[in-house]
Structure 1
Amino acid sequence: MAYRVLIVEDDPMVAMINEQYVKQNKNFTVSTICRNGEEALNFLEGNKIDLIVLDVYMPVMDGVETLKRIRDKKISSEVIMVTAANDTNTLEQTMHLGVLDYLIKPFTLERFLVALEKFLSQKETLKQNSIIDQNCIDRLMTQIGTQDKKIKPTEYPKGINKKTLSSMIEYFNENPGWHSVDMIAEKLKISIVTVRHYMNYLVQQKSIVEDINYETGGRPCMLYKKSDCQE
């Protein structure tokens, strides 16, 4: 089932572009487009939305006030803020209100898709962990840019199997260079979701490094390779 996205944008052209960007990732579907914050809040009253792409500057009710109301109403949707102004005050306000990402217009398709991948990465981490422990929290915080201490190799978090982990490490030891999730999944005969989960863990451990390939002709592809500076 695709994640439901609400686009809140007063400029029809920008809203259409954002909708087309969302459609580049098959894991998401656009539920509707609202022209201002008040319209968005009315829609959210009766509709479940997983992710909101929220513009800052809009008539009737701007994005910052809309985000405050969303949090006050305990609406659990993740939010990507979008603005044309590099306004540090707005950035600080929205970060305190818990946004997933922050995009400055004009942003590229590639950068927009990175924000969607960030959403997917967090969701997959939570799905893999029925019990939220400290290791799970550490991985989630690392994914949103918080630096954290390395977990000791013997302390495997929930959802990390020693045998599967060893197979991943052996794969990269035997195959230098960059590899996509699809390549790893096919070689090891495991699911793409599982590979993503283990890549998140290994990147946090600094055993693996990641990069984004923008030259795919389609949506960007995450690539991984063995770190050159393992301890």
Structure 2
Amino acid sequence: MDDKHRIKVIIIDDDPMVREVNKNFIQQVKGFDIIGEASNGEEGLQLVKKLQPDVVILDIYMPKINGVKTLLEFRKQTMNVDVIVVSAARDKETINTMLQNGAIDFIIKPFKFDRMKQAMEKYRYYKISMENSETLSQSELDAIIHMKQPSNSDEPLPKGLNMFTLNEISSYLNNETDPKSAEEVANAIGIARVTARRYLDYLEKKGAIRLDVQYGSIGRPVNRYLMGK
């Protein structure tokens, strides 16, 4: 994945073992860099001011300043940071308070890797989509909010394909004016070329992209892809 799409993360949790688990999980999801850790909200606020991450992984039960007050301070000080809550808190009042104040996801401890991966991939798709577009259509917005395929069809994806990667490739091609090869798409998204080719073949068959075969002076022709029919 290119550097401009890498996402900076700070983890705020008073338990060093939990911080390590969160860190290990996040590092297994492509596109994220852990740039700092804090053991309470007070340290976290200072770290966020200094390092300006994209997203904070925030616990609630912490000394000095808990997660609820930390999130409220982020909003009070108009810090441009997103928040994913990872906490043992499960009472409706706390959950509601965090969501009302802009937490984009809430993971209840204990949790498995797949739940963290889901949250981080959804956030990455949201972040890239918002950065790539000045305006959004309703279908594009629905795809971001609900993580659905931006299409009028409810036909399930073929086995081995997932909606997140499909949307990411579609978003990438939508912002490129020149046709791109499978290798260029793979490098931009951070996947294998053969995987990119499968998604591109699927999008072409669905009519979402068109194939542009380019012939060079020597060698085999190169298949390149462009949005639009």
Q: Under a length normalisation based on structure 1, what TM-score does the superposition of the two structures give?
A: 0.64
The letter of the residue matching 1:91 is: I
Kept after mapping to 1: 8 A contact 2:89/2:95: no
Structure-1 separation of matches of 2:34 and 2:94: 26
The CA distance in 1 between the partners of 2:151 and 2:106, in whole Å, is 32
- Aligned length, in residue pairs: 172
Tell me which residue corresponds to 2:220: none
1:102 corresponds in structure 2 to 106
Q: 1:134 to 1:47 in 2, by over 3 A?
A: same
> SS state of the match for residue 90, structure 1?
helix
Match of 1:43, as an amino acid? L
> For residues 106 and 128 of structure 1, do their structure 2 counterparts lie closer, same or farther at Cα, with a shift above 3 Å needed?
same
Amino acid in the other structure paired with 1:178: K
8 Å contact 2:41–2:62 — kept in the other structure? yes
Question: Are 1:129 and 1:136, in contact at CA under 8 Å, matched by a contact in 2?
Answer: no
What pairs with 1:132-147 in structure 2 (closer than 5 Å)?
A: 132-143=136-147
* Mean Cα deviation higher: 68-77 or 53-62: 68-77
Question: Is 1:89 paired with 2:70?
Answer: no
CA deviations on 1:111-149 (whole Å, 9 max, x unpaired) are: 111110011111232244233454443333333x9xxxx
TM-score by length of 2: 0.64
Please, which runs of 5 or more residues in structure 1 have no aligned partner? 154-168, 203-231
Give the match for residue 32 of structure 1.
Answer: 36
Gaps of 5+ in 2: 170-180, 190-195, 204-229
Deviation digits for residues 61-112 of structure 1 (CA, Å, limit 9, x no counterpart): 1001100000111112111101113211111001101111101111111111
Task: Give, in angstroms, the shift of residue 32 of structure 1.
Answer: 1.1
Cα displacement string for residues 132-176 of structure 1 (whole angstroms, at most 9, x for unaligned residues): 454443333333x9xxxx9995xxxxxxxxxxxxxxx9xx89xx8
Given that 2:142 and 2:150 are in contact with CA atoms closer than 8 Å, whether structure 1 keeps it comes out as no
Q: 1:179 aligns with which of 156, 160, 171?
A: 160
Of 4, 7, 12, the residue aligned with 1:8 is 12
Query: Whole-Å Cα distance in 2 between the matches of residues 183 and 25 of structure 1?
Result: 13
Look up the equivalent residue of 2:124 and give its one-letter code.
L
- CA RMSD across the alignment: 3.4
Q: Could you say which residue in structure 2 is the equivalent of 1:41? A: 45
Contact 1:54 1:82 in 2 (8 A): yes
1:191 pairs with 2:185: yes
- Which residue identity lines up with residue 141 of structure 1 in the other structure? I
1:6, 1:30 within 8 Å by CA — same for their partners in 2? yes
> Highest CA radius of gyration, 1 or 2?
2
Does the Cα contact within 8 Å between 1:55 and 1:63 map onto a contact in 2? yes
**Aligned: 1:63 with 2:67:** yes
Distance 1:126 1:191 in 2: 19
Could you tell me how far apart the structure 2 residues matched to 1:65 and 1:18 are?
A: 21
Which of 76, 79, 100 is 2:80 aligned to?
Answer: 76
What is the percent sequence identity of the aligned residues? Answer: 29
Does 124-133 or 92-101 show the bigger shift?
A: 124-133
